[in-house]
Structure 1
């Protein structure tokens, strides 16, 4: 490792930490080795090679079990909460296995998050990555994708990925062509060359909430700082609108929005000024709500139907219901949260 550090351009090494399909037992992969290499300047991609698509029998339970085992293996190596753990899901037949794989990986991500770890998925651009990209609003998405596309180009671009996954500082990495290297030693090593642009460095930072008000007569949002001072305000919406706030574009910051009851229309802004998203959802008499219905980090709109006590959450930028629940009694006031 010292020779590679001196004679190669690489600074990240993949380590296979566990899983039933890991190629070998890795007796030399120990907490002390990880500590020594970290001190030498290396960074790590902890990779877990569990069940593959054709082996999945119970997607949700197996996904959670894999995440628990991966966390235990990582912790034993000194990789604590906030670490990014990669699931290696090799290429598969999408016509046969897409549903099982997506449910499995969704459970993997949710359980990692519950244990305080970040989630990554490695897969083929034509199978696992394509499935994730096609279902960003239907399943819980990983924090990072590692796409196997042998393009021999040092970037994170991939035609199957949404633009927010592969722009500057996006949480994505792309596998490039395999090469034989001899970094200052007599023998050759056959390696994969990978390009990474991963934005996560630990447990995602959270911004403390502060108070704010919406004056419907003025159609103005006023927000406070931690001391109760007024650092800003913005006019948005029209008389009679119902205010909302949320992280509509997954940038870690809440911005404004309104619900127009007369037309059941949601108007959302990412800059507290211009309308970025407009969608019609719900029925007359519905109460607007918002939440991250599928755990992908983006707030989405929804409605509560008081007569039936029904909660209905919509997919991002659409009127498709992606979650629904009946809860409470007539006369209750709706609330949502990550309980």
Structure 2
């Protein structure tokens, strides 16, 4: 079961003296291709990450999350802008940055024909661990991630969840100060995802590790991140804690799915005429509106739609969510934005 842990934070009196673990300033990335228009992957993203916290970059596929991570991990350079990671400038001192970070990419980084233990030993030796130190660290991580019994099995026989745990263990072999997790739970089943969530929380809360997590899962960002930056089309649209972002949305969301034979425009007009409704939007055949008291508003919404000759397939009431935050800032739901291509 995934457990939400309170993230470690520096004491207030030290806030001015402890440098951020990550600082990004006006990062721009443009790809130029012969005979084609430039692709603007990032349009000036800025944020900072406190030491010992989980920071979430939340956005749909194609939002620019992976491009941001590539810049911060020195895998690509920005067109303009600056960034520091673990106290080092990514452009001036990339080697120092690499020594201070662990990176878990979207794809598996393991050697499938080697055993789990062999993968960890190789990663440790690449980072300079030798003798008993590399063996002790490998054994420690195998135990931490519940892989001890599978340590001598070749990795291609592992389940998807086991392989993902090993990917994270590889990123931790050299005890980095900052760990980058790029979509770490994509493709995992619910149980494996919950186990990974619990481990990510533990690494930050108990070991004080700084983690930058990219995700397109709303629940994952809500559960794990102590701070969020929501990105869309290469731009940062809002930042804050999950609770802060949701609390900015006053009231409840009433969501009505309109019957196929009814006019969406008539439904929207009927809801907008009701007193106390605001921020009305349409997504396909779904009309959303924000109201102060959702339960008491539902009968009035149904009556207004009936009077307008609009049929309703279903109607629900929900407290503010990160999807509502995204909708408010971009004018579209998170699910509809997922049609974009990854970058």
Shorter-chain-normalised TM-score: which range?
Answer: under 0.3
1 or 2, which has the higher strand percentage? 1
Normalised to the residue count of structure 2, the TM-score between the two structures is: 0.25
